[in-house]
Amino acid sequence: MSFVLHVDGARWRAGLDRFVTAHPGVVPVIKGNGYGFGRDLLCAEASRLGVPMIAVGTYAELPTALAAFGHDVLVMEPFRAAVHGGVPDLANRRVVHTVTAADDLGALRGVEPDARVVVEGLTSMNRFGAPVDEVGALAADAGAEGVTLHLPLGTGHVEEISRFISAVPGIRRWFVSHVSAAELATLAGRHTDLELLPRIGTALWYADPASYEVRAHVLDVRPVVKGDHAGYRQRSLPSGHLVVVSGGTSHGVAMESPSSAATARTRAIAVAEGVLEAAHRVRSPFTVSGTMPRFAEPPHMQCSLLVLPDGVAPPRVGDEVTVRMRLTTTTPDAVVVS
């Protein structure tokens, strides 16, 4: 059985090239499941794109990134002495650490006196960072290469970022996350002496959504009549066909909130029953014979049972069906770049 992300390599790369040209200074973010493509593939693409730096989410992601990408790697999670004191690669000259507190900076300096660092400012995101009135002193102590700011989704960030910029004179490089191109242009107009470097994952790797798709195999097809039962829970079926496809919870099927596809009612059911339990109430992400059939029951670990109603022509065993799902929560069996 297989659940495969197929990438039209030439088309995907053309989208990446256009994106990088349109976003000078972009620092590609490569983290988690590698946005569905896998982190190694994205590191190889970043190398091909010729960017001088990538950003990873965590120290756990650092060794493979350093192996797969030959230039600088920014770690976006802050260095915490209590958590990361013993991780490998702290002293690697290509690693840029994020610090938010003097204690952590001291501990990092204890391991590697010349460690390269940026200081993260605490924005309205309220996740990590040093408060705006402490960033300047910390950055000066650290000899920081830059300041990083992570903003909430949406717009309206220009004033907040400007407050940091005025509070920390002397810092040239500002790594910003979730700041729109228009906001960056406004900021660049106001602060012509600064380098504003957007850290971007989603918009970059998914620049051309038509350049890739997930496809699953049809594993079995069986006619059923109303009142037949199937699955772990023995729910009763309508008449039509039961279609077994590859792709289950281990691939991330139905693990995302159905908010994008569903009505207020199905959203409410998902909240009440849990996303997975509610899966059979919503349309599955599989497109079979031109329709998006319902799940017969919540997906299994590696396959899913779908119900195709009467009147819809059934697929054949071995057919490929497309799957529409958010790649940040997708773990395909394989990624095939053609």
Ligand X SMILES: *Cc1c(COP(=O)(O)O)cnc(C)c1O
Element (DSSP H or E) covering residue 47: helix 39-49
Distance CA 42, CA 240 (A): 42
Q: How far is the CB of 298 from ligand X (least distance, A)?
A: 28
Nearest approach in angstroms of CB 138 to ligand X is 18
Work out whether 29 is an interface residue with ligand X (CB under 6 A). Answer: yes
Residues 6+ apart with CB under 8 A from 304: 244, 245, 247, 248, 253, 254, 284, 286, 295
Contacting range for ligand X; rule: CB under 6 A; set: 12-20, 186-194, 199-207, 257-265: 199-207
Stretch 61-90: interaction string toward ligand X, x if CB under 6 A: ---------------x--------------
The residue (of 29 and 54) whose beta carbon lies closer to ligand X is: 29
**Which CB atom, from 6 or from 31, has the smaller least distance to ligand X?**
31
Our CB check for ligand X shows the closer of 76 and 105 to be: 76
Run of H or E including 28: strand 27-28
Residue 277 buriedness (CB in 10 A; 0-12 / 13-18 / 19+): middle
| Rounded least distance, CB 29 to ligand X, Å | 4
Per CB under 6 A, the list member of 15, 136, 201, 315 interacting with ligand X is 201
90 close to 112: Cβ distance less than 8 angstroms: yes
Beta bridge partners of 147: 119, 174
Backbone conformation region of residue 161, classed left if phi is above 0, alpha if psi is from -120 to 50, else beta: alpha
Per rule CB under 6 A, is residue 200 in the interface with ligand X? yes
Task: Choose the stretch contacting ligand X; rule: CB under 6 A; options: 18-26, 42-50, 156-164, 198-206.
Answer: 198-206
> Which residues within the stretch 128-157 sit at the binding site for ligand X (CB under 6 A)?
150
Count, residues near ligand X per rule CB under 6 A: 11
Q: Output helix, strand, coil percentages for the chain, rounded to the nearest 5.
A: 35, 25, 40
Q: Are 281 and 269 in contact (CB under 8 A)?
A: yes
Segment 227-256, which members bind ligand X (CB under 6 A)? none
- Measured from the CB atom, the residue of 148 and 211 that comes closer to ligand X is 148
Q: Which residue stretches of 56-157 are H helix?
A: 62-68, 81-84, 102-111, 132-142
The nearer residue to ligand X, 28 or 240, going by C-beta atoms, is: 28
303: closest CA among 242, 223, 239?
242
In angstroms, what is the minimal distance from the CB of 31 to ligand X? Answer: 6
279 is written with which tokens?
Answer: 């899966």
> Would you state the structure tokens that stand for residue 100, as one six-digit string?
């938010």
**Min separation Cβ 57 and ligand X, Å:** 6
* Complex with ligand X: residue 53 or 305, whichever CB lies closer: 53
Residue 194 is classified by DSSP as: S
DSSP 214-252: EEEEEEEEEEE-TT-EETTTTEE--SEEEEEEE--GGGT
CB closer to ligand X, 212 vs 286? 212
C-beta closer to ligand X: residue 175 or 286? 175
Cβ nearer to ligand X, comparing 267 with 326: 326
Compute the least distance from the CB of residue 129 to ligand X, in Å.
10
Q: Shortest gap between Cβ of 144 and ligand X (angstroms)?
A: 16
Per CB under 6 A, the segment of 9-17, 182-190, 197-205, 271-279 that binds ligand X is 197-205
Binding site for ligand X (CB under 6 A): 29, 31, 57, 76, 150, 177, 199-203
